[in-house]
Structure 1
Amino acid sequence: MLIFSILLFPKSLTVLGNDTIGYLALLAGVLSLFSLANIFISVPVQTYIQKETPDEYMSRVFSLVSMISRGGMPLDALVYGICS
């Protein structure tokens, strides 16, 4: 997270070059690490929910989890927009 934040500062953009392949590769590498971390977190959480939820409530629980996670996206965008 810290590396990604540093990559967005204007000073780091000028040091690394805004439109260079190196900056793009570094940014892609950091975003790949984010995706990998997301996999290592979301898969065990979903597995735990599946194991602990009775079969008759499975669709209700997963629809609620999906609604909460997708419902938070506009709030995240709002917070990001205010902070940047």
Structure 2
Amino acid sequence: MRGRGAGKNQNTGRCVDDSWDYGLRAFGCNYLSYQRWTITYLADGTKTCQNQSTGRVIDDSLDYGLRTFGFNGLSYQRFTLVC
């Protein structure tokens, strides 16, 4: 299953943005493709978030930190929402 949208911070009003020039960052919302994400719901209950402009997915590791990276299907790119 897939969904699409943008991520906007309630406090700052900035959106999750990814570009080749600046990488993953919070930036003023303009709703261009840099701020649009495709969420893929995986069978194990996790999700991946792929940027519609760069095609990269959100990735987090101890070695490289939070970033976007080409999809590889590893656990670094799978997320759950914990509230």
TM range, smaller chain: under 0.3
Structure exhibiting the larger radius of gyration computed from Cα positions: 1
Provide TM-score, normalisation by structure 1: 0.20
Tell me which of the two structures has the higher relative contact order, counting C-alpha pairs closer than 8 angstroms and 6 or more residues apart.
2
Structure with bigger helix share is 1
Structure with bigger strand share is 2
